[in-house]
Amino acid sequence: MSILMIAVYAVGALTALLALYYTAKDLAADFVLLGACALVLLVWLLETGALALRDLGGGTVGDPVTLYGYLLTGAVLPIAGIWLGVGERTRWGSAAILAVAVTMLVLQLRLPQIWAGGFA
């Protein structure tokens, strides 16, 4: 398991817990929660860049459409979560970020299964 995988798990889990707290306390997303979601995006993009460099360096991808589809989905989801968190000023904006964080954890869990040449 690489440092970037651990970082995605750690930041994603902490963001999910924070979003769960905000949702349970009926709080709208503020700069702390939005920043946590942005941090998930940043760590995901770092991992995406590392995986792309490994692919360009001779890694074999069994199904590149699925791999890059996962990577693109993981890049778009936090942006959508931030957009919803800013636009929806109720607990549902926080709930959207919670859904994004949990989905990012699932994407990260599936990534080594899709591309065994990656960080598995």
Residue 21 has, within 13 A of its CA and on its CB side, a CA count of 9
Is the pLDDT confidence value at 116 over 70? no
Contact 37, 81 (CB under 8 A): yes
Contact 107, 74 (CB under 8 A): yes
pLDDT band at 54 (very low <50, low <70, confident <90, very high): confident
Q: pLDDT tens across 59-112, in order?
A: 666 677 888 888 899 999 999 999 999 998 889 999 999 999 999 999 999 888
Backbone angles phi, psi at 88, to 5 degrees: -105, 100
Is the pLDDT confidence value at 31 over 90? yes
Position 64: which residue type?
A: P
User: Strand, coil or helix: what is 58?
Assistant: coil
pLDDT band at 52 (very low <50, low <70, confident <90, very high): confident
Q: Is the dihedral of CA 84, 89, 92, 93 positive or negative?
A: positive
Distance (Å, whole) CA 116 – CA 30: 38
> Which pTM value belongs to this model?
0.86
Backbone region of residue 58 per phi and psi (left: phi > 0; alpha: psi in -120 to 50; beta: other values): left
Is the pLDDT confidence value at 120 over 60? no
